[in-house]
Amino acid sequence: MTSSNAVVDVHGLEKTYGKANERQYQALKGLNFQVAAGEFVGIMGASGSGKTTLLNMLSTLDVPTKGDVIVNGHDVTKMRGNQLADFRAQEVGFIFQDFNLLESLTAEENIGLPLALKGTSSKIMDQAIHEVADTLSIADLLQKYPSELSGGQKQRVAAARAIVHHPSILMGDEPTGALDSTSARELLDLLTTINQEQHMSVLLVTHDPFSASFCQRILFIKDGLIGSEIRRGDQDRSAFYQQILNELGTFNE
Amino acid sequence: MLGKLALAGIKNRRRDYLVLLAGLTMPAAIFYMFANLTTNKAFVKANGVVGQSMLIFGFGAVLLILITIVYIMYANSFLLSMRQHDYGLFMMLGAKKRRIGQLVFLETLILGTVATAIGIVLGLLMSRFLVGFLLNALGLHLAHLESFYLPAIIATAVLYVGLFILASLFNLVKLTRTTVLKLLHTDEQANQPQVKPVRQMIAGIVGILLLAAGYWALANIKMLQMAAIPFAIVTITLGTYLLFRATLLTIIRWLRQTKWAKKHLNGFLMGQLNFRVYNYTRMLTIVSLLFAMALGAITVGSGYHRQLPMMADSLGSYTIAIHDKTAKEQQLIGKLNVVNQATYTQKRQGKTVFYNAAEFKQHPYEFNEGTMTPKYVKKTAAQMKSTDLNSLDFLNLAVLGQNNLYAPKMLNAAKFSRQAGKTVSVTTIRVKNIDKDRATLKKLNQLEMARFPHASELTVGNYQSYELMLAFFGGLEFMGYFLGIAFLAMLASCLMFKILSGAPGDKRRYRMLYKVGVRHSLMRNGIAKEIGIFFMIPGIMGVIDVLFGLQMFKPLMPKPMSPYLGIGSTFAIFIGLYAIYYLITLALYWQIVLPQAPATVDHK
C-alpha cells in the first residue's frame, strides 16, 4: 500500500513500553497512514493517546517495537547511530513546543546549525540564512540571543532553523503550545505559507483545534490507533474548525 | 517525609555523589599529609629544615588553605547545581523554605564530614605508603616521619568541618533567597557578557605590567628577600586575571566571526566558550597559579634530584677511595660502573706520605680541573705541580687524624723502595653515575670507614660529599615533589568540579543538538575540545609562570646546579599527569551530558 509520492509511510507501527517480564504498556497498537508530498497533515488526540510517541518514532528519537516507518524513501527503523543523526539533520525539520534554541548562540548561529552540520560553505550558508530570515521576517533579529526574543520570535527562529536546509518534511510538536494567540496565529500562517510556496510537507501534532484547522487533513488518534480522519477539501478555515470541533465531540465519547 | 524524598534524590544520583565525595576526600587527605609534615616539630628539626625553607613550607600551608577554600566553593556549587532543581520542585509542591533550608544544611554538612573523615584515614594511609614510596624512589631518608600525628588530624578536621559549616550556611542562604522559579530554571539562563574595547585594552596592558612586576620580583628575590613572594603572588594573580579577562573574550569573539566557526559544531563550541569564559576567569586564574606552583615545586624537586649527583661529581676527582682493599671490597668494586680506577702504593712516615713516581707513570693520576662541570686531566708524577700535590682531593688519600693530613711527596722508584714507613695501598675509583651505584657505594664506604675511620666533617671522595648534600637538600627535594603532587591533585580537582558543575545545563543543550541530528562523534569531539581548552588556558599560563618563577630558586641552587637544567622531562611528566586528569574529567562529562541511544531515550 505504498504510494509512490508519499513522504511518510507508516505501516503496522507498534510501540510497547516496559520489558517483557515487567508490566507493559502498549502506546501504539498498529498504526497505518501516509503523508503525500506537499501535504499539510495534522495529528490530533487527547493526552496519552500516543501522539508524542508517534512523533518520536517518525523523527527517530525513539525506536518502534514493530512495524515500518519510511520517510522520503528511507526506512528509519533500520537505521543506526550516525545514519539516524544524519537523517534527522538532513531529512527532517523540527519545531518543538519549547523552541529548543541554543541560548549560547545568536539567532543566526541557531538557524545556521543544520547547514554547519552538513559542512556547507559559509558563503552559501549566509545566503540561505538571509533568504529564510526574509521569508519569516526575522532579518532584524539575527544578531540577537534567544534570551532577548519573545516567545513568538523564538518560535519563528526555530521555524527558520527547521527549514533552512530544505528538509523533505517539517514536523511540529505542539509548536503553538507556548505562544499567545497572536503569535500562534502568525506561526500557523507561516507554516501554511511554507507548505504552499515551498511545497514542503508539514506534519503537525497538536491537541488544539485552532492549530489543526490550518491543516488539509487530520488524523485522530485514540488509544494507540487511528480512530478517524477528516479532510478540509474546499471548505474555508472556520468551517473546517467547526468540523474539527464536531469530530472531537463525537470522537471523545 | 521530605527527608526521605531528599534521600531518594541522592540515591538516584549515586554516581554524581560518589564523584563529589571522592573529590572532597582528596584535598582533606592531602591537607592531612601536609599538616603531618609541617606541624611535626620532631620531623622538621631532625631534617635540618631551617630558615628560608621553613618559610616556604609556611607559604605552602597558607596556599593550601586558600586553595582548599576555593576548592570547597567549587565543589559546593557543583552540589548546589545538582540539587537546586529538586529543591525548587519541593518548594513548588509546598515544602516550607525553612525545612528545605534545614535539609540543604544537613546534606552539605553530612557530606563534608564524611568526606573529611574518609580523607583523614586516606591521608594516614597515604602518609604511610605514598610518602614511604616517594622517599624510597628518591633514595632519601627523613627521620621522625610518622604517619599518625594527632595535632595534624585535629588541624585537618577543624579546618575542613569548619569550611563545610560555612559552605552549608552559604547554601542555606542561597537557596532560601532564590525564588522557586529561578531554582527550577537556573540552568536555562545564559548571560552574554558585554565587551568594552577600550576598557579591555587598558585591563590587558595593566595585566601584562602586573605580570612583569611579579616575574621581576621573583627574579630579584635576593634583593627583595621574603617580601618578593607575597608581592609576586598578588601581582601575578591580578595580572593573570586581567589578562584573561581582556584577551579570552576578544579572541573568542574574533574566532566567531571567521569561516571556521561556521563548520560543524565549531560555532556551538565558540558560543559555549563565549558565555562560559567570563564566569570562569577567576577559576582559570587560580588554576593557572596552582598549575605554576605545582609544576614549579616538582621542577625544583626533580632539579635537586637530578643535579645533586652532578654537583657532587664536580667537587672532586674520584667517587671513593679504598685503602688496602679486601677480597670482599674487590667483589663490590666489580659491581660498580667504573669509569676510572687506579691503585697506588703509599709509604707513610711521620707526617709525610711517599708515592712511587713509577706507578704514576704507568697509571697517571686523574685530576678534576673543571670548576662547574667536571674536566678530567690525567697527570704523571713529572707533570704534577706542587699545587696538584696539595689539592685537597689528593691530600685526602692519606688522612692522619682530626683536621690533619699527611703531606705527600713523590719519590723515584729506587728511592721509594728504600724509603721506610707503613705501606698502604690506595685505590681511587670514579663511577659513571653516583646515584645509580649508590647502594654498592654505601656498602663499600661502610667497609672502608670501619677500617679507616675519619671525622664526619671530612669528606673523602664524591660519594661522601653526595651523602652530605642529600642530608642537607633532601628535605627540600622531597618537599618539592610532595607539594607538586599535592597542588596538581588540588588544581585538577578544582578545574574538574568547576567544569562538571556546568554539566547539568549542558545536558539540555546536548539533548537539543541530539534532536536536531548532530552525530554522537561530533558531540564527543565538541566536548573534548571545549574541556580541552579550559585545561589548556591555565596550563599555558602556568608554564610561562614557571619559566619566569624558577628564577627565585637560583639562590637556593648553588652553581653548577640551575633550576632550569633538564626541565623538559619534568614538564613532560607533569603534563602527562595533567592530561590524565583531563581524560577523567572528559569521561565523566561525556557520561553526564551525552544523550543516550534511541532505545533508552526518555520521553519528554
pLDDT in tens, B416-453: 888 888 888 999 999 988 888 888 888 888 888 888 88
- How does DSSP classify residue B597? P
Say if the Cβ atoms of B512 and A52 lie within 8 Å. no
Q: What is the pLDDT of residue B130?
A: 73
Q: Identify which of A62, A86, A102 has the shortest CB distance to residue B517.
A: A86
Closest to A218 measured CA to CA, from A210, A228, A208: A228
Q: How does the average pLDDT of chain B come out, rounded?
A: 80
Q: B516, B518, B530: which to substitute to probe chain A, counting the most A Cβ within 10 Å?
A: B516
| pLDDT beyond 70 at B2 | no
Q: Torsion angle of alpha carbons B272, B275, B281, B284, nearest 10°? A: -10
> What digits encode the pLDDT tens for the residues A120-141?
888 888 888 998 888 888 889 8
CB within 8 Å: A116 and B263: yes
Mutate to test the interface with A, among B272, B512, B524, B593 (most CBs of A within 10 A): B512
Average confidence (pLDDT) over B86-110: 78
Please tell me the least confidently modeled range out of A213-227, B71-85, B299-313. B71-85
Is the model's pLDDT at B365 over the cut of 70? yes
B512 Cβ under 8 Å from any chain A Cβ: yes
For the domain made up of A38-63+80-251, the CATH class stated in words is alpha beta
Q: Please say whether the dihedral angle defined by the alpha carbons of residues B106, B109, B114 and B115, taken in this order, is positive or negative.
A: positive
Distance between CA B411 and CA B415 in Å, rounded?
6
Is A109 in Cβ contact with B268 (below 8 Å)?
Answer: yes
The share of chain A scoring above pLDDT 90, in percent, equals: 3
Do B366 and B342 form a contact (C-beta atoms < 8 A)?
Answer: yes
Task: Say if the Cβ atoms of A56 and B603 lie within 8 Å.
Answer: yes
- Indicate the angle between helix axes B520-549 and B567-593, nearest 10 degrees: 150
Q: Which of A175-179, B144-148, B476-480, B578-582 reaches the highest mean pLDDT?
A: B578-582
Are residues A102 and B509, on separate chains, in Cβ contact within 8 Å?
Answer: yes
Q: Which of B403, B399, B407, B409 minimizes the C-alpha distance to B448?
A: B399
Where in chain B are the domains? Answer: 1-189, 190-315+469-604, 320-468
**Quick one: pLDDT at residue A1?**
41
- Average pLDDT in the A58-78 region? 86
pLDDT at B601: 40
Position B602 pLDDT exceeds 50: no
* Closest C-alpha to B48, from B472, B597, B578: B472
Instruction: Say how far apart CA A13 and CA A36 lie, in whole Å.
Output: 18
Provide, as residue numbers in chain B, all residues whose Cβ is less than 8 Å from the Cβ of A94. Answer: 515-516
Task: Provide, as residue numbers in chain A, all residues whose Cβ is less than 8 Å from the Cβ of B509.
Answer: 102-104
Instruction: For residue B516, give the nearest of A63, A84, A88 by CB distance.
Output: A88
Is A56 within 8 Å of B513 when comparing Cβ atoms?
Answer: no
Bridging pattern class, strands A6-17 and A66-71: antiparallel
Taking an 8 Å cut-off on Cβ atoms, the answer to whether A104 and B271 are in contact is yes
Instruction: Report the pLDDT value the prediction gives residue B208, as an integer from 0 to 100.
Output: 92
Which residues in chain A are contacts of B272 at CB distance < 8 A? 104
Contact B192 A113 (CB under 8 A): no
Search chain B and give the residue with CA nearest A126. B262
Q: Kindly determine whether residue A116 and residue B265, on different chains, have CB atoms separated by under 8 Å.
A: yes
Q: Which of B599, B596, B434, B578 is nearest to B511 (CA)?
A: B596
Angle (CA) A161 A152 B93, round 5°:
105
The predicted structure's pLDDT at residue B40: 67
Whole-number pLDDT of residue B350: 85
A105 Cβ under 8 Å from any chain B Cβ: yes
Percent of chain A clearing pLDDT 70 (strictly above) = 97
Which pairs from A131-136 meet CB under 8 Å and 24+ separation? A132/A160, A132/A163, A132/A164, A133/A108, A133/A160, A135/A160, A135/A193, A135/A194, A136/A160, A136/A190
Residue B583 has pLDDT above 90, yes or no: yes
Q: Does A165 touch chain B (CB under 8 A)?
A: no
How would you label A122-160 residue by residue, b for 16+ Cβ within 10 Å and e otherwise?
A: beebeebbeebbebbebeebbebbbeebeebbbbbbbbb
Q: Which of B294-298, B322-326, B549-553 is modeled with the greatest confidence? A: B322-326
Sheet of A6-17: strand order equals: A25-36, A6-17, A66-71, A74-75
Do residue A52 and residue B268 have CB atoms under 8 angstroms apart? no
Give the per-residue pLDDT at B184: 61
Q: Which residue has the higher pLDDT, B192 or A167?
A: A167
C-alpha torsion sign, points A124, A130, A133, A134: negative
Q: What is the pLDDT of residue B160?
A: 87
pLDDT of residue B212: 92
The whole-number pLDDT of residue B603 equals 38
Q: Which residues of A touch B267 (CB under 8 A)?
A: 105, 109, 112-113, 116
Partners of A98 on chain B (C-beta within 8 Å) are none
- From chain B, pick out residues whose CB is under 8 angstroms from the CB of A101: 512
Q: Does B544 touch chain A (CB under 8 A)?
A: no
- C-alpha A202/C-alpha B458 separation (Å) is 95
Q: Where are the alpha helices (DSSP H) in chain A?
A: 51-58, 81-91, 107-118, 122-135, 151-163, 181-197, 209-212, 237-251
**DSSP code of residue B581:** H
Residue of B nearest to A84 (CA): B517
In this predicted structure, the answer to whether residue B52 has a pLDDT above a threshold of 60 is no
Residues 6+ apart with CB under 8 A from B2: B90, B95, B99, B100, B103
The pTM for the full model equals: 0.75
pLDDT tens digit string along B373-398? 778 888 888 888 888 888 888 888 88
| Residue-level pLDDT at B48 | 54
Mean pLDDT value across residues A40-60: 84
Please tell me if residue A220 touches chain B, with a CB cutoff of 8 Å. Answer: no
Three-state SS at B555: coil
Grid coordinates representing A97 are 513546543
Comparing CA positions, the residue from B490, B167, B436, B478 lying closest to residue B312 is B436
Structure-block grid coordinates of residue B267: 560555532
Residue B520 contacts A where some CB pair is shorter than 8 Å: yes
- Report percent pLDDT > 70 for chain B: 88
Q: Does A107 touch chain B (CB under 8 A)?
A: no
Please give the single-letter amino acid code of residue B276.
R
Domain segments of chain A as ranges: 38-63+80-251
Minimum distance, in Å, between the CA of residue A39 and any CA atom of chain B: 22
| B79-88, B182-191, B546-555: segment of lowest average pLDDT | B182-191
Q: What are the chain B neighbours of A161 within 8 Å (beta carbons)? A: 516
Q: Which residue has the higher pLDDT, B308 or B343?
A: B343
The pLDDT, as a whole number, for residue A120 is 81
Beta partners for residue B13, in sequence order: none
Grid cell 582559570 in the structure block, residue: B284
Chain B residues with CB under 8 Å of A117 CB are: 264-265, 516-519, 522
C-beta atoms of A61 and B264 within 8 A: no
Q: Stretch B459-481: mean pLDDT, rounded? A: 78
Higher-pLDDT residue of A183, B557? A183
Asked if B519's CB is within 8 angstroms of A125's CB, the reply is no
Tens of pLDDT, residues B7-39:
777 777 777 777 778 778 888 888 888 777 776
What's the alpha-carbon Rg for chain B, to the nearest Å? 32
Cell of A15: 510501540
**B270 vs B530: CA distance, rounded Å:** 9
Q: Do B271 and A109 touch (CB under 8 A)?
A: yes
pLDDT at A85: 84
The CA distance from A217 to A214, in Å, is 9
Residues of B in contact with A52 (CB under 8 A): 603
Question: Are A102 and B264 a contacting pair at CB < 8 A?
Answer: no
Give the percent of chain B with pLDDT over 90.
5
- In angstroms, the CA B426 to CA B322 distance is 6
| The pLDDT of residue B210 | 92
- Partners of B599 on chain A (C-beta within 8 Å) are 63
pLDDT tens, B501-523? 778 778 888 888 888 888 888 88
Gap from B271 CA to chain A (nearest CA, Å)? 5
pLDDT of residue B579: 92
Nearest-CB residue to B274 (from A89, A104, A114): A104
Residue A113: list chain B partners with CB under 8 A: 267-268, 516
First to last CA, chain A: 31
Cα A105 to Cα B542: distance, rounded to the nearest angstrom? 31
Tell me how crowded residue B403 is: count the other CB atoms within 10 A of its CB.
Answer: 9
Instruction: Kindly report the nearest CA distance between residue A80 and chain B, in angstroms.
Output: 9
Contact A104 B272 (CB under 8 A): yes
